[in-house]
Structure 1
Amino acid sequence: MKKIISLIMLNCVIHTATAQLYVSPGTTLYLAGDAKITLQNTDLVNEGTISAPSIGRFIFNGTGNNQISGTSVPTFAELEIAKTGTGLLTLDNDIYVSGKIIFTSNLIELDNHNIDLGTTGFLEGENENSRITGTSGGTVFLTTSLNAPTSANPGNLGAVITSSQNLGSTVIRRGHQSQVNSSGTGNSIYRYYDITPTNNTGLNATLRINYFDAEKNSLDENAFELFSSSDNVNWTNRGQSARDAVSNYTEQTGLNNFSRWTLSTNAAVLPVTGLHLTGRWKNDAAWLEWMTQTEYNNSHFNIERKYDDELNFYIVGRKNTTHPGGNSTTPTTYHWTDHALSNKSPIQYRIQQQSLDGATAYSNIISIRPDASSLFIQKIYPTIGVKGSVYIATGGMQINKMQVQVFDISGRLMLNKEMNYQSGWMSLPQLAAGTYKVFVRSGEYKWEGSFVKD
């Protein structure tokens, strides 16, 4: 049978022995009128239904850390955070607030959960010492109608929008994670906005982003600029038309569309976004191509190579940025030709990007295999568990003879044999168990490898 608990008293202070207000499955906790429930150092666990359709209020106070949890999303008309000392209210479930969240003291920690303000909810009195946070994830969001808005701050979320156009139904979502790029580097303030209007073209809009000092993430607010991203990994510096380090805001005009937005500085963002490397063997050399989507304070690119028998990458070239000051908001393509040794296939490459302040980032790693016709020796096998012979796989070069030498680990010559330049098995002399080096030469062409004899 469904249970309904209706609270009509003006104030109800709950401080249970178990420090938990539990709404069981099948039960509805209904706040009539302006009834208030004060949870002092008490968790709220909702497995049933919490309904406060008018102005009923839940107040979380006390010095302890408490949670809102359960399997059901509670609906609040009003929620007040009034913790003292180091007390914190943490969400262990999503919540819905149709009225307002009142910030009296201390913080609400999202902890990867969301606050849905619907179409009527808003924040009241959020300030430096009492606010929403959530650097590990989670958002607070609402849906509103923006028709030629003038300095509209929907829900008091801190994104102030002006436009001569009708944006229509718009979802505004605020998060508190520092934003990074596709390489997982760079940083922003601990605040970002996802702004999703129905009409998202030709807006000619102004966006002001407000922030608290605690959200600056050690960045210089006197250098704040707006950054936007359509995919949340590649960022474009949109600059700024006004900033105020006292009032804590930065804004920009002339924005034609919205996406994800945050504040950062040129010194904090990744100098290059969208760094991607491709390549192939061409004209007896490794031909490399890489692209950047944007560049900020970029200095140059180091071309790094690793042969198959090497443990580490080594710098084999440098390419300076083509943009004055190292800044660009448009895609740029770079090329490099490396005359690598074709007999050390496969050859690995990567690009190291270096900024003007010395910060570095890396591209993806690619592997290039020269054409067989360009290879002197492809490989020998087996390389372990060798018995009485090894197979030498040659390339397709126009060579008649090759000289094969085998040395033990002490450098003693164990075999010195001239062979026709063609793939085939080579018999070995009587060898003790151990590791042996193989050197193959023909004129200017050289190759080396090794095998382990049982």
Structure 2
Amino acid sequence: TGANSFAGSGYFDAWVENGVSPSGLGTNTDFVDKTWHFEPVAAFGNTLSLQIFWNGVDEQSNFDRSACWISRFDGTGWDYNFPASASNLNVFGASQYAILRSNLSNFGAFTIASDGILPVELVDFRAEATTSGHHLQWQTASELNNSHFEVQHSTDGLRFERIGEVAGQGTSEESTNYEWYYQPTSRAIQHYYRLRQIDYDGQFSFSNIVVVQALSSSQSSVQIYPNPVMDHVKILIPSEGRVIDQMFIFSIDGRRVWQQAVASGDQIDVSCSYLDAGVYLVYGGKNEQQLMLLGQFIKD
């Protein structure tokens, strides 16, 4: 796949093979599908610069040419070298490219890697209601070309609007903590939040959705947790307040998916494994003709 060159002095055995080798990267699609091998045949005393050429046809489906680098296999895994700058990424004609890596003192197997799949590693996102508003917190393990986070809010889990923006760290291998405070004006029982992470080049991805239940609402005295849910949701009916004899769960399109007779103080465990992913509404009252909305939950 093109010619390769060194800047410096030394003698090497060099060859190229198809595929990314050694094994361990077979599930990734953000590499050039070639492995370059360089083995010195004699000792050398200086560091060297390596330039590798490749053809566009060998780039895998999620390879990001704008954020790529030369990666070396160190015996246990592939090392990370920050993405090339414009000065050492070159284009030859319509479909051949070259990249440079400097200060090399160890050799072996090399490939061209990129961060085409996961520019930001979000490890935690949570939100809680406080007396002064809603407190959102999130944490990243690393970031690549991260411009900013757009904070979005919804009262139904379906239609979101932008409520703020938090600057990212650009490119960082350090863990970073973020937070945002928001005082909703809506009197909705539940509030939904998500993050829209945006790269410098305009590409974006969404976080998971987190849910906050309002502190001050006569209807929100019924507790619904966890939220979002996987297999089961618990519904705790208060021992005081409006009498609820029947409880219902409806899908967002109006289908009744669950019904049960209840009493004050009951704690109900509802199986959700048979439900499709989406938003569900919890109603209660004397009968199906006299219902009030008690809350909502998201089925993942």
- 1:214 maps to which of 52, 57, 76: 57
- Structure 1 residue 319: deviation in Å? 1.4
- Structure 1 residue 337: deviation in Å? 1.4
Q: Distance in 1 between matches of 2:79 and 2:206?
A: 15
Q: Secondary structure at the match of 1:214?
A: helix
Question: In the alignment, which residue of structure 1 is the partner of 2:204?
Answer: 360
One-letter code aligned to 2:112: T
CA contact (8 A) 2:147 2:168 kept: no
Q: TM-score, normalised by structure 2?
A: 0.50
Distance change in 2, residues 1:244/1:250 (3 Å): same
CA contact (8 A) 1:299 1:321 kept: yes
Q: Distance in 2 between matches of 1:319 and 1:194?
A: 45
1:283 aligns with 2:147: no
Question: In the alignment, which residue of structure 1 is the partner of 2:150?
Answer: 302
Question: In the alignment, which residue of structure 1 is the partner of 2:103?
Answer: 254
Distance change in 2, residues 1:154/1:436 (3 Å): farther
Per-residue CA deviation, residues 208-250 of structure 1 (Å, 9 max, x unaligned), is: 43423421469897x6741659999997633256455447532
Task: Report 1:215-234 matches (<5 A).
Answer: 215-216=58-59, 225-226=68-69
One-letter code aligned to 2:57: A
Task: Report 1:12-51 matches (<5 A).
Answer: none
Per-residue CA deviation, residues 310-337 of structure 1 (Å, 9 max, x unaligned), is: 24151342214245xxx32343432111
1:334 aligns with 2:185: no
| Structure 1: runs of 5 or more not aligned | 1-125, 129-148, 159-171, 181-186, 196-202, 394-425, 439-447
Distance change in 2, residues 1:224/1:281 (3 Å): closer
1:239 aligns with 2:87: no
| Structure 2: runs of 5 or more not aligned | 4-8, 39-45, 223-236, 238-243, 249-258, 267-283, 296-300
Q: Distance in 1 between matches of 2:139 and 2:37?
A: 27
Distance change in 2, residues 1:204/1:243 (3 Å): same
Per-residue CA deviation, residues 29-58 of structure 1 (Å, 9 max, x unaligned), is: xxxxxxxxxxxxxxxxxxxxxxxxxxxxxx
Distance change in 2, residues 1:427/1:217 (3 Å): closer
CA contact (8 A) 2:192 2:210 kept: yes
Q: RMSD over aligned Cα, in angstroms?
A: 5.3
Q: Distance in 2 between matches of 1:253 and 1:152?
A: 17
| Matched residue count | 222
One-letter code aligned to 2:158: N
Which protein has greater RCO, CA pairs closer than 8 Å, 6+ apart?
Answer: 2
Per-residue CA deviation, residues 52-85 of structure 1 (Å, 9 max, x unaligned), is: xxxxxxxxxxxxxxxxxxxxxxxxxxxxxxxxxx
Question: In the alignment, which residue of structure 2 is the partner of 1:383?
Answer: 247
Question: In the alignment, which residue of structure 2 is the partner of 1:273?
Answer: 120
Distance change in 2, residues 1:244/1:237 (3 Å): same
Task: Report 1:106-121 matches (<5 A).
Answer: none
Per-residue CA deviation, residues 169-216 of structure 1 (Å, 9 max, x unaligned), is: xxx638997955xxxxxx453346799xxxxxxx96644434234214
Identity %: 15
Task: Report 1:44-443 matches (<5 A).
Answer: 150=10, 152=12, 154-157=14-17, 173=22, 179=28, 187-191=30-34, 206-216=49-59, 225-226=68-69, 237-239=82-84, 242-246=88-92, 248-254=97-103, 261-264=111-114, 269=116, 272-281=119-128, 283-284=130-131, 285-292=133-140, 293-296=142-145, 298-307=146-155, 310-322=156-168, 327-331=170-174, 332-340=176-184, 344-345=189-190, 347-368=191-212, 376=218, 377-379=220-222, 382-384=246-248, 385=259, 391=264, 428=286, 434-438=288-292
Question: In the alignment, which residue of structure 2 is the partner of 1:449?
Answer: 294
Q: Secondary structure at the match of 1:303?
A: strand
One-letter code aligned to 1:262: I
Q: Distance in 1 between matches of 2:212 and 2:82?
A: 35
One-letter code aligned to 2:290: Y
Distance change in 2, residues 1:301/1:256 (3 Å): farther
Distance change in 2, residues 1:436/1:427 (3 Å): closer
CA contact (8 A) 2:135 2:182 kept: yes
One-letter code aligned to 2:152: E
Q: Distance in 2 between matches of 1:233 and 1:314?
A: 39
Distance change in 2, residues 1:213/1:282 (3 Å): closer
Q: Distance in 1 between matches of 2:187 and 2:79?
A: 36
- Structure 1 residue 361: deviation in Å? 0.6
Q: Distance in 2 between matches of 1:217 and 1:156?
A: 17
CA contact (8 A) 1:212 1:248 kept: yes
Distance change in 2, residues 1:279/1:220 (3 Å): closer
Distance change in 2, residues 1:178/1:212 (3 Å): farther
CA contact (8 A) 1:176 1:190 kept: no
Q: Please identify the structure whose Cα radius of gyration is greater.
A: 1
- Structure 1 residue 278: deviation in Å? 2.5
Q: Distance in 2 between matches of 1:279 and 1:227?
A: 36
Per-residue CA deviation, residues 338-364 of structure 1 (Å, 9 max, x unaligned), is: 33579735x543211123444221223
Q: Distance in 2 between matches of 1:276 and 1:328?
A: 16
Per-residue CA deviation, residues 249-287 of structure 1 (Å, 9 max, x unaligned), is: 3221136889985245xxx83583212332242633332
Question: In the alignment, which residue of structure 1 is the partner of 2:298?
Answer: none
Q: TM-score, normalised by structure 1?
A: 0.36
Q: Distance in 2 between matches of 1:192 and 1:306?
A: 47
